[in-house]
A = this chain, B = another copy of it.
Amino acid sequence: MKALLLIAHGSRRPQSNQEVIDLAAILEKRADHDFDIVVPAFLELADTLIPDGVESCAKTGATEITVLPYFLNSGKHVTRDIPEVITAIKPQYPDITIRVTEHIGASPVMLDLILQTAANK
């Protein structure tokens, strides 16, 4: 059973965190066969932190968890903090394959998305 764990930074502004929660719900509906569930979690400043998100995936029966850092820049959160949290909790889930993807800003498709948004196409 495949889970996508969408990791955002987290904000003191509850509406910003709710946006990510809503985004995960929409993604789950669109994910088709790629992912059975899409779970939101936050690096900090929110109720559901990364370990909570992994636990939620595990409880739902995930056998594979794809962790996607929903960040634009490859700052220390992406290069250090998220990998460290994942490395630390992996031993608790020996039967689950956990992999971390590139952050969303690293996608080459982002270039087209920026130009489309800017040109209002």
Q: Contact flags (1/0) for A14-28 with B, using CB distance below 8 Å? A: 011001100100110
Q: Contact flags (1/0) for A29-62 with B, using CB distance below 8 Å? A: 0110011000000000000000000000000000
Across the interface, A8 reaches (CB within 8 A) one of B8, B66, B72, namely B72
With contacts A11-B75, A16-B74 known, is A6 near B68, CB below 8 A?
no
A109 to B8, CA, bound (A): 18
Nearest Cβ distance between residue A56 and chain B, in whole angstroms?
Answer: 17
Taking the complex as formed, is A92 at the interface, i.e. its CB lies under 8 A from any CB of chain B? no
> Closest B-chain residue to A120, C-beta based?
B101
Taking the complex as formed, is A87 at the interface, i.e. its CB lies under 8 A from any CB of chain B? no
Q: Quick check: B117 and A101 within 8 Å, CB to CB?
A: yes
Residues of B within 8 A of A102 (CB): 117
Q: Quick check: B117 and A68 within 8 Å, CB to CB?
A: yes
Residues of A within 8 A of B (CB): 4, 6, 8, 11, 13, 15-16, 19-20, 23, 26-27, 30-31, 34-35, 66, 68, 70-76, 101-102, 104-107, 109-111, 113-120
